[in-house]
Structure formats: structure tokens, C-alpha cells
Amino acid sequence: MPQPHARAEPSLIPIERPRCPKCSNRMMLARISPASESYDSRTFECTKCDHTQTRTVARDPMKSETAGWQYSELKAPE
């Protein structure tokens, strides 16, 4: 019998690993540092060609602009 899916803790959700723009290898998360009050700076490194890439992301995904759906007219089933 299939098991119901439980919601994972936010700290357990895997971080998306981008592909290296030089060699297309999956990059590894090297460090996270605060960028501002509500954003983090994530630095990824490629283990194959040593390329680094930094991305700025919302610290709390529920407070980012992508969480707007929760304020729409969509409702949970009753």
C-alpha cells in the first residue's frame, strides 16, 4: 500500500544544484552567507572545472514573491 507523503522540514529540502555554464557538470554548494535582511548569497563550485557561481535567493521561500499563490482564491479541499 502506498505511503502518504509527509511535508519535509524546510531545512531538509534539497537545494537546487545548478549546472556549470562551462562544462555542464552539477555544481556543489560551497557556502551560504547573508546578502541582506531577507536574502542569502549562495556560492556554488564546479568540482570538474573549478568554475564558481554566486546566486542571491530569498532566505524564507514563503516570504518571497513566488509565494503569492497562497493569497489567491485557491482554497484547500473541504
3-state secondary structure labels for all residues of the chain = CCCCCCCCCHHHCCCCCCECCCCCCECEEEEEEECCCCEEEEEEECCCCCCEEEEEEECCHHHCHHHHHHHCCCCCCC
pLDDT score of 28 more than 90? yes
> What pLDDT score does 21 carry?
93
Which structural domains are found in the chain, ordered by start? Answer: 16-60 (2.20.25)
Reported as a single tens digit per residue, the pLDDT across 54-74 is 999 887 656 555 555 555 666
